Structure 1
Amino acid sequence: MAKWTPRHEAPEPLEGPVVATITGGTILWFVLFLVQLPLYGWFDDHGHTWWLWTCLAGGGLGLIGVWYVRRRDAALRRAADARDLTATPSTPSAD
């Protein structure tokens, strides 16, 4: 079996409102959990309680995701600021 090697470079990752996207998805998971919570008896009778716990797990993992992408954005901003500071030439003082 031959080793697979890519024939072209990978595309650049898409950048967008990542924090807003993850936050929206997290809110959606929690809303789905809360909407299904009053129907717990029906879910339990039909063996579908995993639907409820999946929504709760999605919300919990979404909270971790929000924390992660906020820290990532902050690190990217710090790196860009540091890059800007080193790229800016210092002006010699006029004595």
Structure 2
Amino acid sequence: MRLKKWTSGDRQAPEPLEGNVVATVTGGTIIWFVLFLVQLPFYRWYADRDYDWWIWTCLAGAGLGLIGIWYVRAREKAIRRTKDQGTPDQ
């Protein structure tokens, strides 16, 4: 049965993909903030229909994105520092 090859553990898991995480998180943060700015002029329309939480969700996404940018930059710096010291990966 073909399905057994995928579930029996006969195959090795692929290595995780490492991309430019800082750029990805920064791009997402910018998108959240732009969505906040685009919706802000329509606040009354959203509030009249009880959808004003959409605006605040976009602002929260931008705020959390700023925390994410700080986090991934610190992570990249730590990875670079570890490689520079020649410490083996664990």
2:45 equivalent to 1:45? no
Alignment deviations for residues 28-57 of structure 1 (CA, whole Å, 9 cap, x no partner): 100100110010000001110111011011
Q: Which amino acid aligns with 2:14?
A: P
Deviation at 1:10, TM superposition (A): 3.8
Task: Name the larger-Rg structure.
Answer: 1
Secondary structure of the structure 1 residue equivalent to 2:86: helix
Length, aligned pairs only: 81
2:39 equivalent to 1:36? yes
Deviation at 1:11, TM superposition (A): 2.9
Q: What is the CA RMSD across the aligned residues, in angstroms?
A: 1.9
Gaps of at least 5 residues in structure 2 are 1-7
Within 5 Å, give how 1:16-35 maps onto structure 2: 16-35=19-38
Deviation at 1:25, TM superposition (A): 0.5
Deviation at 1:73, TM superposition (A): 0.3
Identical pairs, percent: 65
Q: Specify the alignment match of 1:15 in structure 2.
A: 18
